[in-house]
Chain A
Amino acid sequence: MAGPHAPRTRRAVLRLAALAAAAAVIGPDLARADAKAVEAELKKLFDGKTMAEGRVKLDVPQIAENGLVVPITVEVESPMTEQDYVKAVHVFADGNPLPGVLSFKFSPAAGRASASTRMRLAQTQNIIAVAEMSNGALFTAKAEVKVTIGGCGG
C-alpha cells in the first residue's frame, strides 16, 4: 500500500483526524526541522564540543494532552556556587519548524538550576536539552513526546 499513499504529511493528517477523532493543529504547512537540523544547530552553538549524558533531568510527558501547550521542566544537578554552576540550558525539538525552542540562563544566585514552561509541538518528536556548565562542560538529555490525534474506546 506504500504505492498509492504519499509520504505522511502529518500536519494535514492531524488537522483532518481532528474530525475523525481528535486534536486540531491549525496552521500553514511549514518545513520541519529534523535530527540533522538540530545537530547543525548544536554544532553552530557549541562548535562540535562533546556532550555527556547525565546531570540533566528532562521532564516532558510521554504523550502530550495538547500539542499546543506541552509542559516541560528541566533540572540540572549542580552546586550552583561561583566556582561551579549552570550557565544555561538550551532546549531543541527535532520536529518543529525551527529546531531551537528556548534557552534558560542561570547564575549562581539562582540557587538551583531548574525551570519550567510550555512549548508547542507540531508532531511526535524528540526534545533535546543541553546544559552549559560554568567550566564549559556540556551535558544533555533527550526524550520523545508523542502527539496523537486521540479519539477513544473505553
Chain B
Amino acid sequence: MISRRHFLQATAAAHALSLASGLGPLGRAAAQQRLTEADILRFEPVGQVTILHVTDIHAQLVPLHFREPSVNLGVGDAKGKPPHLTDAAFREYFRIAAGSADAFALTADDFTQLAKSYGRMGGMDRVARLVKAVRAERGTDKVLLLDGGDTWQGSWTSLQSKGQDMAGVMEALGTDAMVSHWEFTYGEERVKELAEKSKVAFLAQNIRDNEWQEPVFAPRKMFEKGGAKIAVIGQAFPRTPIANPRWMIPKWEFGLREDDISKQVEEARAEGADVVVLLSHNGYDVDAKLASRVKGIDVILTAHTHDAMPGAERIGDTLLIASGSHGKFVSRLDLDIRAKKIAGFRYKLMPVFSDAIAPDPAMKTLVETIRAPFAVELSREVGRTDSLLYRRGNFNGTFDDLIAQAMLAERDAEIALSPGFRWGGTLLPGDPITFEAISNATAITYPACYRMQMTGAQLKDILEDVADNIFHPDPYFQGGGDMVRVGGVGYAIDVSGSMGSRISGLTLLKTGQPLEASKAYTVAGWASVNEATQGPPIWEVVQAHVARQKTIRIEPNTAVKVTGA
C-alpha cells in the first residue's frame, strides 16, 4: 500500500496532479472481493479541517447504477487532459486496475459485468453513514459539508414535492452550504421559499435582480472549523437563464461575474479568512480557466459537468476537486492551514458502494417516508430491457436512443430531438424498466413533448448552435451539457471546427437521403425552454412506447460520425 501511495505521488508530480491517496486500497480489496466500509473510509487525517463535498446528486435518494461516459471529449487546452479521459486512458492516468472497484466506479467499459460484482452506488442513507463516520472520527467542529447543487431535481419524488424531499434530506445531513442550477427550474418563488426556511446556507454571488442589480442571495458565508476561518463563496450555474427556461426566473440575472468573485475573495480575506473556497456550479473546464485568472482562491469544489476524479488537480495555487454525480461519491479534503495558506492537504474521492456501506438508520427512515406515498407508481414495471441503457456520452446514450425512438413512434415524427442532459440512471440488460427508471431520466418541470415542422436548414443550425456550446475552445463559452440527441437523422461533426462549420452530412435515416435545406420535416422533441410549449409530458411518451414494445433492445448507434477529436 505504501508503495502504491508513493507511486501515486510520483505520478502527481508528473501530471501536476496531486493524487494523494486516490481511491487508496480499494483496488486490492476489490480484487479480493472484500470491499468494506472501512476500506472506503480509510484515511490518514491531516491538518485541522476536513471539507466534505457532494454534488449533482440529482435527487437520487436510493442506490442506483450510473455509467460514466465512454466519450467525453475535451477541446482547446482541455483536450486529452483529465477529466476528458475515458476508459483505458482514464485508468492509465489515475493508475487504476481494469476490473477493479475504482474502474467500475469511474469508467464505462465492461460496465454490465462489473455492475454484477460491485452492485449499485449511492443512496442518501449510505452518504449519511459516511458523513457521520467522518464527523465522528474528526470531530463535528472540524468538518464542513458542502453541496455543489443540482440536488433538488432529477427524480419523481423531487418533482412531485417541488424539491422539498431533497431540501429536507440535505438539511438532515447537516449540510452547511449549497449552490444551485436545476433548483431554479422550480421557479423564483419556490427556490426562495425552500432556501429561506432551510438551515443550509443558499449561496450565490452571481445572481442579481434585473431591476436594481441587487444580490438575490447571500454571496458567501464564513465558517469556523478546527480553529480556522473558512470563507465559502457560492457560484450558481452562470448560464441558467440560457440553458433552462428563463421565464421561470424572470427577475434574475446570472453570469460568471469573474470581477465580483475577485471582490468576494478580497472581502473574505479582509474579514480574516484563513482559507477561501469557491463552491461552484460552473463546470470543470470553466473552473479550470477561472482558477488561472482569479487569484486568491485556495479550493474550487467543481460541479455541473459530473466529472469524478480520484485526485485533486492544482492550477496555480488553487486546488480543484471533482466529486462526480448521483450520490456515487463523497469527497474528503483534509487541509493543514498555516499562516492563512494551505500548507498541506490530503484528498480522497470516497466511492459510495451501497453493498459495502451500512445505511444510516435515521436517513433510511427519512428516505422511506419520502418515498412511501409514491411506492406503487415508482415500482410499477412498464417493460424490460435487453440492452444496457445509459445516458452519458457526448453524442448519444442508449437511454436517449430509447427516448428518441419513443418520440418518433408515439408522436409520429420523422425526426426526434432530445436534450443532452447528463443526469439519469443506468439500467442493466435484463432489468425491468420501472416508472421510476423512466422518471429518473425525464423528471423536469417543463416536460412537454412538442411536435412541429422544421426545415433541414433550421435543424442544421440548431445542431451547430448546440455544438458550439459544447465544443467552443474557450471554456467560458461552454454550457456544460452533451450534444442534443437526434433520432431519425444522422450527421457528421468535426468538433475542432468553428461556429457554423462543424456539422455536415445530415441524412434522413429512413430514406438515406440528405436533408433538404428548404424542406420541412416533422420533428418531435422535449425540454423546450419556451413558455407554453404544447404536448404530453415526455415520461408519458416513453412509458407508452415501452409498454407497447414490452422488451427494449437498442442497436449500436452509428448515426453520428465524429472527427477532429
A: residues with CB less than 8 A from B are 1-6, 8-10, 12-13, 16-24, 61-63, 65-66, 69, 71, 124, 146, 148-154
A66 to B457, CA, bound (A): 23
**Does B168 belong to the interface (CB within 8 Å)?**
no
Given that A17-B461, A61-B255 are contacting pairs, would A154 and B242 also be in contact in the complex, using a CB cutoff of 8 Å?
no
Surface stretch bound by A, among B269-277, B512-520, B550-558: B512-520
From known contacts A20-B484, A65-B242, infer whether A149 and B525 are also in contact, taking CB-CB under 8 Å: no
When the two chains form the complex, which single residue of A8, A62, A151 contacts B461, counting CB atoms closer than 8 Å? Answer: A8
B476:A62 contact, CB within 8 angstroms = yes
A8 to B525: give the CA distance in the assembly, Å. 22
Chain B residues near A63 (CB, 8 Å)? 239, 242, 477
- Partner of A65 from B253, B480, B515 at Cβ < 8 Å: B253
| Interface pair A65/B255, CB less than 8 Å apart | yes
29 contacts between A and B (CB under 8 A): A1-B460, A1-B492, A1-B514, A2-B504, A4-B516, A8-B457, A8-B500, A10-B461, A13-B457, A16-B458, A17-B458, A19-B530, A20-B523, A20-B525, A21-B528, A22-B528, A22-B529, A65-B253, A65-B254, A69-B210, A146-B477, A148-B469, A151-B469, A152-B244, A152-B529, A154-B182, A154-B283, A154-B306, A154-B480
Count of chain A to chain B residue pairs whose CB atoms are closer than 8 Å in the complex: 151
**Closest residue to A150 on the B side, CB-wise?**
B242
User: Quick one: which of A1, A3, A149, A154 contacts B481, CB cutoff 8 A?
Assistant: A154
B484-539: which residues lie under 8 A (CB-CB) from chain A?
A: 484, 492, 499-500, 503-506, 514-518, 523, 525, 527-530, 533
Binds A, one of B288-296, B330-338, B448-456: B448-456
Q: Which residues of A contact B499 (CB under 8 A)?
A: 124
List residues of chain A with CB within 8 A of the CB of B253: 65, 71
Does A12 contact B458, Cβ atoms closer than 8 Å?
yes
Residue contact B458 to A151, C-beta cutoff 8 Å: no
Q: Decide: A13 near B528, CB < 8 A? Known: A23-B242, A63-B239, A151-B466.
A: no
B422 near A153 (CB under 8 angstroms)?
yes
Interface status of B192 (Cβ within 8 A of chain A): no
B182 contact set on A, CB distance < 8 A: 154
- Could you tell me if A154 and B528 are in contact, using CB atoms closer than 8 angstroms? no
Is B530 within 8 A of A18, CB to CB?
A: yes
Query: Once bound together, how far apart are the Cα atoms of A124 and B477, in whole Å?
Result: 12
Tell me whether B517 and A6 are in contact (CB under 8 A): yes
Q: Is B409 an interface residue (CB 8 A)?
A: no
Chain B 206-248 interface 0/1 with A at a Cβ cutoff of 8 Å (1 = within): 0000100000000000000000000000000101011110100
- Please encode chain B, from 291 to 311, with 1 for each CB lying within 8 Å of some chain A CB and 0 for all others: 000000000000011100000
Interface centre among B181, B243, B254 (most CB of A within 10 A): B243
A22 to B241 Cα, complex, angstroms: 10
Report chain A residues within 8 Å CB of B241.
Answer: 65-66
B147 touches A (CB below 8 Å): no
CB-CB < 8 A to A124: which residues of B?
A: 499
CB <8 Å contact, A151 and B243:
yes
Indicate if the CB atoms of B419 and A153 lie closer than 8 Å. yes
Contact of B505 with A19 in the complex, beta carbons under 8 Å = no
Within 8 Å CB of B505, what residues of A? 1
Q: Apart from A16-B454, A21-B466, A153-B479, what 10 extra A-B contacts exist at CB < 8 Å?
A: A18-B528, A18-B530, A19-B525, A21-B484, A22-B242, A63-B239, A63-B477, A153-B470, A154-B182, A154-B237
Q: Is B482 an interface residue (CB 8 A)?
A: yes
Instruction: Decide if A20 touches B514 in the complex (CB within 8 Å).
Output: no
Q: What are the 10 A-B residue pairs with the smallest beta carbon separation, nearest first?
A: A153-B481, A152-B243, A1-B504, A13-B461, A150-B242, A5-B517, A153-B420, A65-B241, A22-B529, A6-B517
Contact flags B416-442 to A (C-beta < 8 A → 1, else 0):
010111110000000000000000000
> Nearest Cβ in chain B — how far from A8, in angstroms?
6
Q: How far is the CB of A116 from chain B (nearest CB, A)?
A: 9
Given A8-B457, A153-B479, A13-B465 contact (CB < 8 Å) = yes
Residue B468 contacts which of A5, A6, A148 (CB distance < 8 angstroms)? A148
Asked if B529 and A18 sit within 8 Å, CB to CB, the answer is: yes
Residues of B within 8 A of A13 (CB): 457-458, 461-462, 465
Query: Which B residues are CB-close (under 8 A) to A24?
Result: 530
User: A6 vs B460: C-alpha distance in the bound complex, in angstroms?
Assistant: 10
Which A residues lie within 8 Å of B504 (CB)? 1-2
Asked if B150 lies at the interface with its beta carbon under 8 angstroms from chain A, I say yes
- A65's nearest neighbour on chain B, judged by CB, is B241
- What separation, in Å, do the CA atoms of A1 and B423 have in the docked complex? 32
When the two chains form their complex, are residues B460 and A5 in contact, meaning their CB atoms are under 8 A apart? yes
Shortest Cβ gap from A69 to chain B (Å): 8
Contact between chains at B419 and A151 (CB < 8 Å): yes
Chain A residues, CB < 8 A from B515: 4
Q: Does the CB pair B466–A4 fall under 8 Å?
A: no
Instruction: For residue A67, give the distance in angstroms from its CB to the closest CB of chain B.
Output: 10
- A-contact bits for B154-190, CB 8 A (1 contact / 0 none): 0000000000000000000000000001100000000
Task: Name the distance in Å between B390's Cβ and chain A's nearest Cβ.
Answer: 15
- A65 surroundings in chain B (CB, below 8 A): 239, 241-242, 246, 253-255
Contacts of B456 in A (CB 8 A): 4-5
Q: Which residues of B contact A21 (CB under 8 A)?
A: 419, 462, 465-466, 484, 527-529
Q: Determine the chain A residues whose CB is within 8 A of the CB of B460 once the complex forms.
A: 1, 5
Query: What residues on A are CB-neighbors of B525 within 8 Å?
Result: 19-20
Q: Which listed residue, B482, B503, B517, B530, touches A153 by the CB 8 Å rule?
A: B482
